[in-house]
Amino acid sequence: MQGLLVEFVLKEWLLVFSGAGFILTSIFTGTLPSYSAEEFQVLFILCTLFLAVKGLEGCGLITRFSLALERGRAIPLKLVAGTFFLSMVVTNDVALILVVPLTLMLSIDRKGVLVILEALSANAGSALTPFGNPQNLFIYWFYDLHPLEFIASIAPFSLFFLILLGAVSFAVKVRSTGVPVSSAKLVLSKACIYGMLLLIVLLTVLHVLPVMAGWLVVAYVLLFDRKTLRIDYALLFSFFFFFGLANNMKILLASELANPGHVFLFSALASQVMSNVPAALLFAKFTSNWDALLWGTNVGGFGSLFGSLANLIAYKLYIADENTSDGLKFTFRFLAMGYAAFFLSTGLYVALRGSSWG
């Protein structure tokens, strides 16, 4: 029994850590966190995304994409660049939910490095558009910005990392492992259905369809394909606890922060603990300097696993995969590469905006 408990903690440490943080900060604040309707919507959308992607895996479509991708050249560059541009349109979270499972099905080595580069690329690409990630959307609406004004502010950040990550991924050499991708039979009718369901979920993310449209995914899976219900519920509960932890941190920090100076640095550092979305919500109350907040929360997406939800998604998808067994090495590498990007982007901000610091 004790051995099973230790194994669970080691495998689901993210769930345990977020749950413990949720409980401890709730005790410290003397109240349970209040969840907004938007946070429950995010959890629901994530659940429907997991179901749709799991369905596409089950019908063999992702396997077919993997086989087609392996026949080409410059696999790392295609994956990283594809993640960058995809995240600009469908958000960083969605891009990684789509790309990481595809990467893990390839019969190549160095998948861990590729997943980390994809996570970095998703954070950098999503920063460029107002709807690329949740904190951008909030800042865009809260400060009533013009789209071109918004893009012009953050473009140096995104373009710098597009070039850098493109060069790094081009330099990454992968070799076939000799283990063929599972030759799952493609069920075309099922693939079309799940493709349509995934499109519905993406349209809810883009606010074209109401969030309630996601119940079509749940209804189909419950009625016709219950095997697809085997998704990563531990990750969903980690998000639930993490949202509560972030809300508690907002209460704790709000009583301490009265000076809006150095918004960039404070928001970037706060994102390392409470994620960049709640950091944007918190610091918007104390500053009119939207440019510094935009940079700070997007730079803060790099670094720790908690910098952005995209980091948690990429990390958990890799760790939970049955064919990966280098969790500790992957964690250290994820943090090392993440903080390298964090300090590089901080240096870029100082170089471009240093004269405005005071």
With a CB cutoff of 8 Å and minimum separation 6, the contacts of 343 are none
DSSP state of 226: G
Q: Are 335 and 155 in contact (CB under 8 A)?
A: no
Q: Would you write out the chain's pLDDT as a tens digit for each of its 358 residues? A: 556 666 676 567 667 877 888 888 888 888 888 887 877 887 888 788 888 878 877 787 766 666 666 666 788 888 899 899 888 876 788 788 878 888 888 777 788 899 999 999 999 999 998 878 878 877 887 788 888 899 999 999 999 999 999 999 988 887 766 655 555 567 788 888 988 998 898 788 767 889 899 999 999 999 998 888 888 788 788 778 877 877 777 777 655 444 444 678 888 988 888 788 778 877 776 678 899 899 999 999 999 988 888 898 899 888 888 778 788 899 999 999 999 999 999 999 988 886 555 5
Cα distances (Å, whole numbers) of residue 105 to 57, 101, 199, 281, 322: 10, 6, 22, 37, 11
Helix segments in 225-322, DSSP class H: 233-254, 263-274, 276-283, 290-299, 309-320
